[in-house]
Chains A and B, each alone.
Chain A
Amino acid sequence: MSFLIDSSIMITSQILFFGFGWLFFMRQLFKDYEVRQYVVQVIFSVTFAFSCTMFELIIFEILGVLNSSSRYFHWKMNLCVILLILVFMVPFYIGYFIVSNIRLLHKQRLLFSCLLWLTFMYFFWKLGDPFPILSPKHGILSIEQLISRVGVIGVTLMALLSGFGAVNCPYTYMSYFLRNVTDTDILALERRLLQTMDMIISKKKRMAMTRRTMFQKGEVHNKPSGFWGMIKSVTTSAPGSENLTLIQQEVDALEELSRQLFLETADLYATKERIEYSKTFKGKYFNFLGYFFSIYCVWKIFMATINIVFDRVGKTDPVTRGIEITVNYLGIQFDVKFWSQHISFILVGIIIVTSIRGLLITLTKFFYAISSSKSSNVIVLLLAQIMGMYFVSSVLLIRMSMPLEYRTIITEVLGELQFNFYHRWFDVIFLYRPAFRFILMQHLSESPARQSPPCTFSGPDRLCRLAPAGGARNRDSGIGAQRRPLPAKIEDAEAPRRLLERLVRTPETISSKPDEETDDSRA
């Protein structure tokens, strides 16, 4: 009887989560697109629902709600369903939608998507080989095998994202890093942008006029097509078309310049807004928080290094350790069992909520940055896959934050996974990003000032009068470069790279971000 009640509670909560995932999908992710394939929405919401149910079961475990056997049953069922979705359904649908985008393979969609899925399974299986994940005495399709692999991928993702966050967060929050931007700077850049556009227009007018006169005179400007055409164009070429190609090259360079100027102006506006925001109360509060958070991030990096260097994995969780300290050193006596339950509940609850929220925000940003109307389905499914794997692995890692008596259910259900391995792996990947950035900083502070594109074109172009760039104004190089005053020169053509940087910078931290939900910074 109690089993039925428990099951109904679980099912109601699952339906609630499903509804929430559905709403999130419609309101946030697919804000600008039309949902044509409802399958995608259903899969996303189902993944979300089952992942949240896992967390809910952990909470129930701590609080002691529901019957223990029914909890165990639901754990198993939940895990099976999630693995089914993550390993079988989502990859298959990803393959299916990728294939449907390609015109050629449209007829045999199913066949090719099955092929893609089999390739995915092969690589997924091979993933487990280099890692000392589990003992070989388990069968092929057991839960442990699948979870171990999913866990590896998920932990990698978690660590990468946390690493990003730990390094980017102080920069984002603290106004220490903000350059000083005045209105005159912005106006000057805008004027330059408009001047560049005018130059482009005048050149294009020349081109259009030339083409028109050529057309009227009867010469047709043919692009060299085919092998013979290319040979012919080497020897004979109308003077008009030669002129055109020259002007076209100049126009291309100018367009590149205009793109850079546009991005820089947008940057300046964003910085100006941040400066204004930092003067408000909210801004000051976040600035203050930023200091604490930076210290926390630095501590985390430090601990990760220590863990790796000294080959140590924490045995006790923070709650028990905290209680031990208070009881032993501070001499405060209180009911250990009672408090440990509540504190661990709060701690685990906070971790879960902030990680879910952080992940959803990051996913939204990623989605806005990458997707287009053609690929939106594929990207949403990829995000659902990432989300599922992330949640599964956070269950693995959360185990460390819980006191011993609550770890049992996870250990029971997940079998004999080597949990320590996952923590070690997390530390390694987590350190990758700060180490990478550190090396990058070193490299950039040594590199000489980069030059702007040389004046390759002749003519009365004002571009040639611009002086070469005065140093690497690079986003990634820490404090030193940010404090330099805004250089009034142009850097070399790296607009695509800046775009990429913009995309790369968007996955903000995963743990405890108090803001960042309002503007979708999609330059």
Chain B
Amino acid sequence: MASLDRVKVLVLGDSGVGKSSLVHLLCQNQVLGNPSWTVGCSVDVRVHDYKEGTPEEKTYYIELWDVGGSVGSASSVKSTRAVFYNSVNGIILVHDLTNKKSSQNLYRWSLEALNRDLVPTGVLVTNGDYDREQFADNQIPLLVIGTKLDQIHENKRHEVLTRTAFLAEDFNAEEINLVIEKRYFLRDGNQIPGFPDRKRFGGGTLKSLHYD
């Protein structure tokens, strides 16, 4: 069992966007009934068959590290969080489609997580300004997920989705082989649902995530 390879993926985002619900859904195939504030970091594991059905099929453990807190926390909390950012294989950035600020904070989240790897001393050297150059040599795949699409009114959906399209492009790196970044919109019905609503999305099927 421990002989399976492990993949460590961070799930980052502001408070209340739905990271814990997302992780719970991915790993337990169930909707989280009573979401509560995540203190520190909660981990969950999903067994994933990579390239299923092909001869190169391999089973991996995907560890989803759901780090709680806000991007404007005290620096002591940030330093404590930094201990989770070691040797990360991928980052999922979660933002709330109903809350514009959470999308803007994603830049700061990604800087916080990536700088931790690039600067071995562990000191955050940026002042938070977003600079596309910093993502240029980024080897770690990023995935941007927007939640709570069902809570947005029908006629506002278009502008919200265009805004998030720009957001996702900003994180993209040039070469598609090394850094792959996809957008998933959480639609109601057949894909991963937004905030849990047990009656509607009881047994939602899961879309598998590929990283390479």
- Spell out A's residues near B (CB within 8 Å): 31-34, 190, 193-194, 197, 200-202, 204-209, 212, 255, 258-259, 261-263, 265-270, 272-273, 372-374, 495, 499, 519-523
Write out the residue numbers on chain A whose beta carbons fall within 8 Å of the beta carbon of B98: 34, 373
Interchain CB contact under 8 A, B74 and A520: yes
The count of A-to-B residue pairs whose CB atoms sit within 8 angstroms is: 103
Question: B139 at the A/B interface (Cβ < 8 Å)?
Answer: no
Write out the residue numbers on chain A whose beta carbons fall within 8 Å of the beta carbon of B100: 34
Interchain CB contact under 8 A, B40 and A209: no
Write out the residue numbers on chain B whose beta carbons fall within 8 Å of the beta carbon of A205: 1-2, 4, 45, 47, 61
Interface window among B77-85, B127-135, B169-177, B179-187: B77-85
Interchain CB contact under 8 A, A212 and B101: no
Write out the residue numbers on chain B whose beta carbons fall within 8 Å of the beta carbon of A499: 39
Partner of A209 from B27, B47, B63 at Cβ < 8 Å = B47
- Which one of A207, A255, A523 has the greatest number of beta carbons of chain B within 10 Å? A523
Count of chain B residues with Cβ under 8 Å from any Cβ of A? 37
Interchain CB contact under 8 A, B96 and A258: no
The minimal Cβ–Cβ distance linking A119 to chain B, given in whole angstroms, is 28
The minimal Cβ–Cβ distance linking B95 to chain A, given in whole angstroms, is 12
A522-B77 contact in complex given A31-B101, A32-B72, C-beta closer than 8 Å: yes
Question: B46 at the A/B interface (Cβ < 8 Å)?
Answer: yes
Write out the residue numbers on chain B whose beta carbons fall within 8 Å of the beta carbon of A259: 39-40
Question: B16 at the A/B interface (Cβ < 8 Å)?
Answer: yes
Write out the residue numbers on chain B whose beta carbons fall within 8 Å of the beta carbon of A190: 80, 83
Interchain CB contact under 8 A, B101 and A273: no
- Which one of B72, B76, B96 has the greatest number of beta carbons of chain A within 10 Å? B76
A34 to B15, CA, bound (A): 14
Interchain CB contact under 8 A, A32 and B14: yes
Interchain CB contact under 8 A, A520 and B72: yes
Other than the given A212-B47, A270-B74, A523-B77, 12 more pairs (CB < 8 A) read A205-B45, A207-B45, A258-B40, A263-B39, A263-B40, A266-B74, A266-B77, A269-B75, A499-B39, A520-B72, A522-B72, A523-B69
Write out the residue numbers on chain B whose beta carbons fall within 8 Å of the beta carbon of A258: 40-41
Interchain CB contact under 8 A, B72 and A266: no
Main secondary structure of the interface of A (DSSP, over half): helix
A263 to B63, CA, bound (A): 22
A519 to B70, CA, bound (A): 13
A239 to B76, CA, bound (A): 45
Write out the residue numbers on chain A whose beta carbons fall within 8 Å of the beta carbon of B45: 201, 204-205, 207-208
Question: B205 at the A/B interface (Cβ < 8 Å)?
Answer: no
Residue of A nearest to B45 (CB): A204
The minimal Cβ–Cβ distance linking A251 to chain B, given in whole angstroms, is 10
Partner of A208 from B61, B74, B83 at Cβ < 8 Å = B61
Query: Would you list which residues of chain B between 20 and 55 have a CB under 8 Å from chain A?
Result: 27, 39-47
Write out the residue numbers on chain B whose beta carbons fall within 8 Å of the beta carbon of A208: 27, 45-47, 61
Residue of B nearest to A204 (CB): B45
A372-B63 contact in complex given A34-B101, A255-B42, A521-B74, C-beta closer than 8 Å: no
The minimal Cβ–Cβ distance linking B157 to chain A, given in whole angstroms, is 16
A295 to B15, CA, bound (A): 40
A202 to B45, CA, bound (A): 9
Write out the residue numbers on chain A whose beta carbons fall within 8 Å of the beta carbon of B83: 190, 193-194, 265
Question: B99 at the A/B interface (Cβ < 8 Å)?
Answer: yes
Partner of A33 from B46, B63, B99 at Cβ < 8 Å = B99
Partner of A495 from B1, B39, B73, B80 at Cβ < 8 Å = B39
Write out the residue numbers on chain A whose beta carbons fall within 8 Å of the beta carbon of B70: 32, 522
Query: Would you list which residues of chain B between 87 and 109 have a CB under 8 Å from chain A?
Result: 96, 98-102, 105
